[in-house]
């Protein structure tokens, strides 16, 4: 009898090219994705006289720095950024990598277009020069972020040296209430395990609640695995994944697809497989979440108050909380609901897919935003689909700024920024000081919660607007 294996074990073992005695292994990388910020790796490649080993297994898109007000490099926030976008186009032309530049109907945020185009497939090892590559694990892939030197190695060899991480299974049960979404679930998980709680681990999300989530919700959950310190996040593939992928641009076709599905069905963790750590979470009573501090782990229910640092256990925790409150301009004991905000951002690789835009539009429909709202779809395809459904008209009627696809205000590299001292409710994934602009104060929340804040001008329990709590 064979020893039961986890899904991660199966994928790792199938990709080891060479193993060392120290526990590191040379892994074969099935698909590598790059963006316009990856120019250092291509420059290094050229300087060393190296070519791209497997161009057909590499993909690239312009997303991090691209303008959301136009589709030309000339629309960029600065000449330097325009030059970076033009360099991206030249690098792709020289290397023969399949690319989705500005103006391409397939362009978008790398972690949104991967699944959309069938680049993301179950059982693959996927690498990308962006920490939120864990997103792709929602389809049963081992996907992780890499640095520029590692990117050069992948481009030149289609392999990468890695240390085998430990495994953690987070089992989520309980039916989510109306107004509570996958973003609330992952914020609750991070608050539970902490920003460093999953360091050196790959998380497999399991349980009835995870299985009940739609594919885009699963992508949201895996996207923020890195915010708990994990190397990657994964969810076992199922029929919903296989149905979604069939016919996608870069997915197998015909008989090859049927063969692939047959292989993918063996990927889920075996009954009795051992994990290095197990965590269980019941979300039946979960309320919409919002962050109060400068880390995704600083998430609490909208019904709660800003915590008092003096109640925290460790001296380091207390000092960290005090610094966060000082930066955020908050006082312990302040109710979160009702806190005035200055602007709203709906977008990012976490929450800019069609279901996210639908959730935000459902709250905004027939209302008028009281603060500036920037809505940035995750891909050109999402933008087209949203406009076909009339979601753009809902946003525009509410006074929102409807833009082109890109990372935008999530990271603020393209000029879409929050002003110093302003309080922004954001559907993105990170809220550290300066993330959305120098001195910007970010509260992470779901698309529905962000829309509720837009309508009221304050942090608001969206369930009140939906006729719930």
Both structure tokens of 362? 């459902």
> For residue 437, what are the CA distances in angstroms to 84, 425, 432, 442?
20, 13, 10, 10
Q: Nearest 5 degrees, angle CA 161-CA 99-CA 234?
A: 45
The pLDDT of 92-109, averaged and rounded, is 97
State pTM to two decimals.
0.97
pLDDT in tens, 296-333: 999 999 999 999 999 988 899 999 999 999 999 999 99
Domain final residue, candidates 253, 277, 301: 277
Q: How far apart are CA 148 and CA 91, in angstroms?
A: 15
Give the domain extent around 66: 7-277
pLDDT attached to residue 2: 87
1 falls in which pLDDT band (50, 70, 90)?
low
What is the 8-class DSSP label of residue 158?
A: S
Residue 304 sits in the same domain as residue 206: no
Beta bridge partners of 100: 61
269 in the same domain as 294: no
Position 22 pLDDT exceeds 70: yes
| Banded pLDDT at 233 (limits 50, 70, 90) | very high
Q: What is the mean pLDDT of residues 119-128?
A: 98
Same domain membership, residue 377 and residue 315:
yes
Q: Report the chain's mean pLDDT, rounded to a whole number.
A: 97
- Asked if residue 1 is part of any domain, the answer here is no
Mark whether 73 and 138 lie in a shared domain.
yes
DSSP element (H, E) containing 456: helix 447-456
Which of 224, 242, 277 is the C-terminal boundary of a domain?
277
Angle at 59 between CA 53 and CA 62, to 5 degrees: 130
pLDDT of residue 469: 46
At residue 370, does pLDDT exceed 90?
A: yes
What confidence tens digit (pLDDT) does each residue in 426-441 have?
999 999 999 999 999 9
Rounded CA-CA distance 435/412 in Å is 7
Q: Per-residue b/e over 421-434, b at no fewer than 16 CB within 10 Å? A: ebbbbbbbbbbeee
Query: How far is CA 112 from each of CA 106, 117, 160, 247, rounded to the nearest angstrom?
Result: 10, 9, 24, 17
Q: What is the pLDDT of residue 467?
A: 74
283 part of a folded domain? no
258 has pLDDT over 80 = yes
Q: Is residue 282 part of a domain?
A: no
CATH number at residue 388: 3.30.499.10
Q: Are residues 327 and 435 in the same domain?
A: yes
Task: List residues bridging with 313 in a β-sheet.
Answer: none
Which long-range contacts does 212-217 make (Cβ < 8 Å, 24+ apart)?
212/175, 213/182, 214/240, 214/355, 215/115, 215/138, 215/139, 215/240, 215/241, 215/244, 216/353, 216/354, 216/355, 216/356, 217/181, 217/182, 217/355
SS3 state at 2: coil
């Amino acid at each position: 009898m064979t020893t039961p294996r986890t899904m991660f074990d199966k994928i790792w073992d199938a990709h080891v090219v060479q193993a060392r005695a120290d526990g590191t292994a040379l892994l074969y990388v099935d698909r590598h994705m790059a963006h316009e910020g990856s120019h250092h790796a291509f420059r290094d490649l050229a300087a060393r006289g190296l070519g791209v080993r497997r161009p057909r297994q590499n993909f690239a898109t312009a997303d991090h720095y691209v303008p959301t007000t136009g589709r030309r490099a000339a629309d960029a926030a600065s000449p330097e950024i325009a030059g970076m976008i033009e360099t991206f186009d030249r690098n792709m032309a020289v290397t023969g990598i399949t690319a989705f530049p500005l103006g391409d109907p397939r362009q978008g945020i790398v972690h949104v277009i991967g699944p959309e185009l069938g680049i993301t497939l179950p059982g693959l090892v996927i690498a990308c020069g962006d920490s939120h590559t864990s997103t792709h694990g929602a389809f049963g892939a081992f996907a992780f972020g890499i640095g520029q030197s590692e990117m050069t190695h992948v481009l030149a060899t289609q392999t990468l040296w890695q240390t085998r991480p430990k495994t953690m299974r987070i089992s989520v049960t309980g039916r989510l209430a109306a107004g509570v979404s996958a973003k609330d679930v992952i914020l609750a998980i991070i608050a539970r395990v902490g920003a460093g709680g999953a360091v050196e681990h790959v998380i497999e999300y399991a349980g009835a609640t995870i299985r009940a989530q739609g594919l885009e919700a699963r992508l949201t959950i895996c996207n923020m695995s890195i915010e708990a310190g994990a190397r990657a996040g994964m969810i076992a593939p199922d029929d919903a994944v296989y149905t979604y992928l069939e016919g996608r641009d870069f997915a197998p076709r015909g008989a090859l697809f049927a063969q692939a599905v047959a292989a993918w069905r063996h990927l889920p963790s075996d009954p009795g497989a051992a994990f290095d750590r197990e965590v269980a979470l019941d979300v039946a009573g979960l309320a919409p979440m919002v962050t109060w501090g400068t880390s995704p782990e600083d998430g609490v229910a909208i019904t709660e108050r800003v915590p008092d640092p003096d109640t925290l256990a460790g001296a380091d925790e207390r000092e960290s909380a005090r610094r966060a409150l000082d930066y955020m301009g908050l006082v312990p004991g302040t109710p979160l609901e009702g806190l005035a905000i200055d602007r709203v951002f709906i977008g990012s690789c976490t929450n800019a897919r069609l279901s996210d835009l639908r959730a935000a539009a459902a709250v905004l429909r027939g209302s008028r935003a009281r603060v500036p709202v920037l809505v940035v779809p995750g891909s050109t395809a999402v933008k087209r689909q949203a406009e076909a459904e009339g979601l753009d008209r809902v946003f525009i009627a509410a006074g929102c700024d409807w833009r082109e696809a890109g990372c935008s205000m999530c990271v603020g590299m393209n000029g879409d920024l929050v002003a110093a001292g302003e309080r922004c409710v954001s559907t993105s994934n990170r809220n550290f000081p300066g993330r959305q602009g120098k001195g910007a104060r970010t509260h992470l929340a779901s698309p529905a919660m962000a829309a509720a804040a837009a309508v009221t001008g304050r942090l608001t329990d969206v369930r009140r607007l939906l006729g719930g709590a």
